[in-house]
Amino acid sequence: MKLDDDDFTLFGLPERHALDRAKVDARWRQLQAEVHPDRFAGDGAAAQRIAMQWAVRVNEAYQRLKDPLRRAAYLCERRGAAIQAHDNTAMPAAFLMQQMQWREALEEAADAAAVAGLEAEVVAAERTMLADVARLLDEAGDAPAAAAQVRALMFLNRFRQDIGRRLDTLDPTHIR
Amino acid sequence: MALLQISEPGQAPDPHQRRVAVGIDLGTTHSLVAALRHGVAECLPDEKGRVLLPSAVRYLAGGRRQIGFDALDAMAGDAENTVVSVKRFMGRRLADLQGLDKLPYRFVDQPGMVALATRAGPKTPVEVSAEILAALRQRAEDSFDAELFGAVITVPAYFDDAQRQATKDAAQLAGLNVLRLISEPTAAAVAYGLDNASEGLYAVYDLGGGTFDISLLRLTKGVFEVVATGGDAALGGDDIDHALSDWALAACGAMAADAQDKRAALVAARTTKEALSSADAADWSATIGGRERRVPVRRSQLEALARPWVDRTLAAVRKVLRDGQVSRDEVRGVVMVGGSTRMPLVRTSVGELFGREVLTNVDPDQVVAIGAAIQANALAGNARDGELLLLDVIALSLGLETMGGLVERVIERNTTIPVAKAQEFTTFKDGQTAMAIHVVQGERDLVGECRSLARFELRGIPPMVAGAARIRVTFQVDADGLLSVSAREQTSGVEAAVTVKPSYGLADEQIAQMLKDGFTHAEDDMAARSLREARVEAERMVLATRAALAIDGGLLSAEERAAVEALARETERIGAGTDAHAIEAAVAALAEGTEAFAAARMNQGIRQALAGRRVEDI
């Protein structure tokens, strides 16, 4: 087991998008229980430093594996289809149209109920697209197509944060 | 992996002696120290049997000080020189603080952190806190008649980097070896978790004197994971005292003209508030402007005054539920922490929000210190194998200033620590040879609305066309939640790196100077002290190394093993001498010589974990 092993190897999980979140969590706790600096509190500076490196590495892998979108991006990159979110903003026209409609709807939404309705719609769209990403990666083996979907999902993710902020100002007591 | 319990007989003086490690709750209103005695974590009392130490320091003439109850007793008569609730000022500049006109202090604006003018000169919150910590350290050493191995100190989960750093500096100044800073709600959950063997998702509602924290924690088989945290570092029972004090003064038509009046009105408000937790009516009475004043207060009136503050806590609770993407039904229990949760209004309001009775069976004043003591005991190597592991998150996002005063987040809040993350930036002008790096903490998009932690410049970038340089900025947050940042230019092969400590923290030299100035123990000889510390560290390293050899010596070849053993013997030999520098050098050599061994052991541990050694536990 090495620090530069990939996330899946480190966690001893199959390299695929469909993962059991409970299993990811359990592996993470198990690994941290081994490597966390607190486990070496009395062992001096060298052991502390190594434990810190490992704990950082395990947390890094965990952050990527537990989030379906980041996991998808990671898989795309490992299969040669880098996301390059900053350089590559090409989107299908239909998706851009949908985005614009949603953005307008958010601007025009008058109350918390309208915003919450929009949020539900976006969450449902995200779920459908993620399922598609999983299919493209795990079954079709089409990483470039999956990468395009991941880029679109990143847009949606940002949009949903805007929705959340709007909800916070409209109705601070709202709980999902 | 309790390595420290195993050592070869006769190798160290009484290796099985328990290390005394304490948990300290450094609170806004009061502080406590707790430790395990006869296997039970309990708060240590002072000579009069009181466990609470009021977080109050009074500066007297001639360099003398009063701490705790003595300071509190004298407070009404000497408000200016009696510092209370100093935790609110930790790691803060004057510009950060609000409502100062209500306080009896003269503030000194100085770079880094505000100070308070006293008759003993300006005192930073770090120095004041160190007095409180030193008093607790003394209490613990008297209780056990032994030196302390170390301490776990609790901080609000919402504390930012500057505040954590300030807390650690204060502990160092008080001569404490900090084993770990942990968040208060985590400590509270530790206290409850071990008592009740509970598993699942818990909320910890902590309303103390000056801070409010709400945390969601998941407890699973000895692992405590912070799912999300929120709160307000400037909201607490003190606010309710102020509201009641203002109201009572208005009701009797009195004016609090000076510091003494203000203090007397506040003290009376606190007493009245506490009485109203059990009684339906109580009198507020204080001497204002030389006249005795008395105002009857009903509980309903106090609750009307407290309602806005309680509602603010409830809004923060809802926000944390949203952040953690958790519904209130998933929360299996709500732990109440902090003296202010004794107010019936708080208990019923929080209970209604979660739709369940709140947990109050551990004393809300003591629960944090008790949890910290349990963790301290585990970190000192006294607990049984793998009993307890705290996995914490950072409470506030960390980022950098980019063009136009915007914040680029590098580490998002609620990320599990320790964590390291790097981001690449580039130059925007041809031939640019330097880059200013401004590190901020907070959730807002504009730099001006976030907390500025540090600024530094990366110099010596070779001249290149705009956009060609690749500057990698790395953020690292350690398990205490403390940040270090470094920057490095990649393309040229020329390395220019700098590591910063947030500008609020005291530089190590400053701390050394303050210690030298006889801050806490004027009689304590610095040289003797550093020798003692070096010896303890040497002993600890030798013990740990031998224990590791006993367990995993098989990972080394005969020659490697002999080399490690020789280093350990050498450290032991020099450790028996009186040259502190030589001992430190020997410890460093031993650390370096065992680095490969430590790495091999770590790899083995992970292989074992992955081999499903504990599959049945998953």
- At A64-81, the pLDDT tens digits run 999 999 999 999 999 988
- C-alpha span between B183 and B154 (Å, rounded): 5
Portions of chain B given CATH number 2.60.34.10:
398-510
Q: What value of ipTM does the predicted structure carry?
A: 0.77
CA B103/CA B95 separation, integer angstroms: 15
**Average pLDDT of chain A?**
86
Higher pLDDT, B587 or A3: B587
Q: What whole-number distance in Å separates Cα of residue B45 and Cα of residue B43?
A: 6
- Judged by DSSP in three states, B537 sits in helix
- Mean pLDDT, all residues of chain B: 83
Would the CB atoms of B608 and A23 count as touching at under 8 Å? no
pLDDT above 70 for B195? no
Q: Do A59 and B419 touch (CB under 8 A)?
A: yes
Mean pLDDT, range B392-415, rounded to an integer: 83
Instruction: Tell whether the model's pLDDT for residue B613 goes beyond 50.
Output: no
Please tell me the predicted confidence (pLDDT) of residue A18: 94
Q: Which of these, B122, B119, B98, lies nearest to B108 by C-alpha position?
A: B122
- Chain-centre distance for alpha carbon B106: 26
pTM score, whole prediction? 0.72
Most confident of B105-119, B221-235, B270-284: B270-284
Share of chain B above pLDDT 70, in %: 87
What CA–CA distances, in Å, run from B164 to B26, B238, B325, B371, B485? 12, 22, 27, 19, 16
**Residue B499 burial class via C-beta count within 10 angstroms: exposed 0-12, middle 13-18, buried 19 and up:** exposed
CATH 1.20.1270.10 domain locations along chain B? 525-610
Say what the pLDDT of residue B522 is: 41
- Overall average pLDDT of the B291-315 stretch: 95
What gap in Å lies between CA B555 and CA B553, rounded to an integer? 5
| pLDDT at residue number B229 | 81
A32 to B391: CB separation less than 8 angstroms, yes or no: yes
pLDDT (average), residues B91-98: 82
Q: Residue B4: its pLDDT value, please?
A: 30
Residue A49 and residue B223: Cα distance in Å, rounded?
22
Task: Answer whether A29 sits within 8 Å of B391, measured CB to CB.
Answer: yes
CA atoms within 13 A on the CB side of B506: 22
Q: What is the pLDDT of residues B10-50, one digit of tens each?
A: 333 343 457 889 999 999 889 999 999 888 899 999 999 99
Helix (H) or strand (E) holding A56: helix A44-66
pLDDT at B15: 39
Q: Is the pLDDT of residue B588 over 80?
A: yes
| Model confidence band, residue B441 (pLDDT cutoffs 50, 70, 90) | confident
Would you tell me how many other CB atoms lie within 10 Å of the CB of residue B391?
A: 24
Least confident of B52-66, B216-230, B566-580: B216-230
Task: Report the residue from B321, B415, B607 with minimal CB separation from A1.
Answer: B607
Of B377, B289, B333, whose CA–CA distance to B42 is shortest? Answer: B377
CA B174 to chain centroid, in Å, comes to 14
Domain boundaries, chain A: 7-66, 93-170
Residue B416: predicted pLDDT? 81
> A85 versus B186: which is more confidently predicted?
B186
Using the predicted structure, report yes or no on whether residue B519 has a pLDDT greater than 70.
no
pLDDT for the residue B1: 27
DSSP characters over A71-83: HHHHHHHHTT---
Structure tokens at B429: 């002008």
B515: pLDDT strictly greater than 60:
no
Mutating which of A11, A38, A52 best tests the B interface, going by the most B Cβ atoms within 10 A?
A: A38
A93-170 adopts what CATH topology?
Answer: Monooxygenase (1.20.1280)
pLDDT tier for residue B186 given thresholds of 50, 70 and 90: confident
Put simply, the answer to whether A176 touches B1 (Cβ < 8 Å) is no
Q: List CB contacts of B297: < 8 A, sequence separation 6 or more.
A: B244, B248, B272, B276, B281, B282, B283, B284
Catalytic residues of B: 25, 87, 184, 206
- Tell me whether B16 touches chain A (CB under 8 Å): no
Residue B233 is encoded by which pair of tokens? 């570092």
Alpha-carbon torsion, ordered B189, B194, B196, B200, to 10 deg: 50
Residue range B211-270, pLDDT digits in tens: 788 988 887 765 677 778 888 877 889 899 999 999 999 999 888 888 788 888 999 999
pLDDT at B513: 60
- Asked if B217 and B201 count as a contact pair (C-beta separation under 8 A), the reply is yes
The three-state DSSP-derived secondary structure of B152-193 is: EEEECCCCCHHHHHHHHHHHHHCCCCEEEEEEHHHHHHHHHH
Return the pLDDT at B609: 67
Average pLDDT over residues B5-10: 32
A interface test, pick of B224, B325, B606 with most A CB neighbours within 10 Å: B606
At B151 the pLDDT is 95
Kindly state whether B179 is in contact with chain A, defined as any CB-CB distance less than 8 angstroms.
Answer: yes
Joined tokens for residue B450? 């976030």
CATH of A7-66, one of 3.90.1300.10, 3.30.70.980, 1.10.287.110, 1.10.1370.30: 1.10.287.110
Q: What is the pLDDT of residue B325?
A: 80
Chain B residues close to A1, C-beta within 8 Å: 603, 606-607, 610
Please report the pLDDT score of residue B91 as a whole number.
Answer: 87
Residues of A in contact with B476 (CB under 8 A): 56
Tens digit of pLDDT at every position of chain A (176 positions): 678 889 999 999 999 999 998 899 889 988 988 888 888 876 777 788 888 889 999 999 999 999 999 999 999 999 988 887 666 666 777 888 888 888 888 888 888 888 888 989 999 999 999 999 999 999 999 999 999 899 889 888 888 888 887 877 776 555 44
Angle at A171 between CA A165 and CA A174, to 5 degrees: 90
Looking at residues B353-374, what average pLDDT do you find? 93
Q: How far is B617 from chain A (nearest CA, A)?
A: 9
Q: State mean pLDDT over B102-119.
A: 85
Judge: domain B398-510, CATH 1.10.599.10: no
Q: What CATH fold (topology level) applies to the domain B525-610? A: Substrate Binding Domain Of Dnak; Chain:A; Domain 2 (1.20.1270)
Q: CA–CA separation, B179 vs B172, rounded Å?
A: 11
Q: Does B610 touch chain A (CB under 8 A)?
A: yes
Range from B95-104, B360-369, B394-403 carrying the lowest mean pLDDT: B95-104
**Could you tell me how many CB contacts below 8 A there are between chain A and chain B?**
133
Query: Residues B129-144: pLDDT tens digits?
Result: 999 999 999 999 999 9
pLDDT at B537: 81
CA distance A63 to B564: 37
- CATH class of the structural domain B238-304: alpha beta
Q: Which CATH number fits domain B17-183+368-382: 3.30.420.40, 3.40.1440.60, 3.40.50.970, 3.40.50.800?
A: 3.30.420.40
Give the pLDDT of residue B289. Answer: 87
Domain with CATH 3.30.420.40 in chain B: 17-183+368-382
C-alpha B597/C-alpha B547 separation (Å) is 13
Q: Is the pLDDT of residue B597 over 80?
A: yes
Partnered with residue B476 across adjacent β-strands are B420, B484
Instruction: pLDDT band for B183, please (50, 70, 90 cuts).
Output: confident
Residues B336-350 have pLDDT tens digits of 998 899 999 999 999
Which pLDDT value is given to residue B316? 92
For residue B208, the model assigns a pLDDT of 83
Name chain B contacts of A12, Cβ cutoff 8 Å. 610
A150 or B615: which leads in pLDDT: A150
Residue B582 in contact with partner chain A when CB distance is under 8 A: no
Q: Is B162 exposed, middle or buried (0-12, 13-18, 19+ CB in 10 A)?
A: buried
Q: Would you list which residues of chain A are within 8 Å, Cβ to Cβ, of chain B?
A: 1-2, 12, 23, 26, 29-47, 49-52, 54-56, 59-60, 62-63, 164, 168, 172-176
Q: What is the pLDDT of residue B239?
A: 92
Q: What part of B 538-557 touches A (C-beta under 8 Å)?
A: 540-541, 543-545, 548
